[in-house]
A and B are shown apart, each in its own frame.
Chain A
C-alpha cells in the first residue's frame, strides 16, 4: 500500500462543532483528494489539490473546506458539522490528475450526533 495515513480513524462529534481531518502522504504525489463514501452513492469527490495551496471543488463541496500548506498534508475541515456529514471519508493521492490511478488511505469514520 502507498504511504498514506489518515487521522483520526474514528471520530464522534456533535452537530455544530468544527472538525478537521488530516491526510498525510510520504509518496510525494502532486495530487491529493478527499472523498466521502455513503451507502448507495459510491465515492463522491469533495475537494482535491493539485499542488501546495492549489485546490479545487468536487461535486459535494458545500460545507467543507480544505487546505494544503505542504506537499505531504491535505486537511479537510467541516466548519460546522451536520448529521448529513456522517460518513466515511477517504483521502487519495495520485501522480497526475484523474487520468491516473489513485491510491486510497484507510479512511476516517465520522459520526455527527
Chain B
C-alpha cells in the first residue's frame, strides 16, 4: 500500500536557525496536507497543496509540492521557540488511501 515517509525524524536547532522537513510518498498524490502537533496537544491543520510545483507561504513557513506530486517540503525561516512540535504531512490519491507520515519532531533551543 501507499507509504509516506518523512525525514528527518528529529531535528534540534538553535533559535533563529532555519529548519526543513521533507515528505516522500511511494505513489503520486492528488493532495498533501501539513499538520503541526505541539507537545501534549492534538494535530492542527496548517495547509493543503494540490498543484504540481505549488509553493505556499504562511509568514515564516514555506510549503512546496514537488513537480511529480510525490514529495513535499516544509521550510521554517528563523525558528522561534513557538515552532516546537511535531510536523506531519499527509497525502492521498483522489480521496483514497489517505496516509499520514510518521512526523518530524522539532526542538528549538533558546
Interface residues of A (CB under 8 A from B): 35, 40-45, 59, 90, 92, 97-107
B1 near A59 with CB under 8 A, answer: yes
Which of chain B's residues have a CB closer than 8 A to the CB of A44? Answer: 100
Residue count of chain B within 8 Å CB distance of chain A: 23
Q: Does B66 contact A (CB under 8 A)?
A: no
Q: Does B44 contact A (CB under 8 A)?
A: yes
Tell me the smallest distance from the CB of B105 to a CB of chain A, in Å.
10
B31 near A99 with CB under 8 A, answer: yes
Which of chain A's residues have a CB closer than 8 A to the CB of B99? Answer: 45, 59
Q: Whole-angstrom distance between the alpha carbons of A7 and B88 in the complex?
A: 25
Tell me the smallest distance from the CB of B29 to a CB of chain A, in Å.
11
A107 near B42 with CB under 8 A, answer: yes
Q: Whole-angstrom distance between the alpha carbons of A95 and B95 in the complex?
A: 13
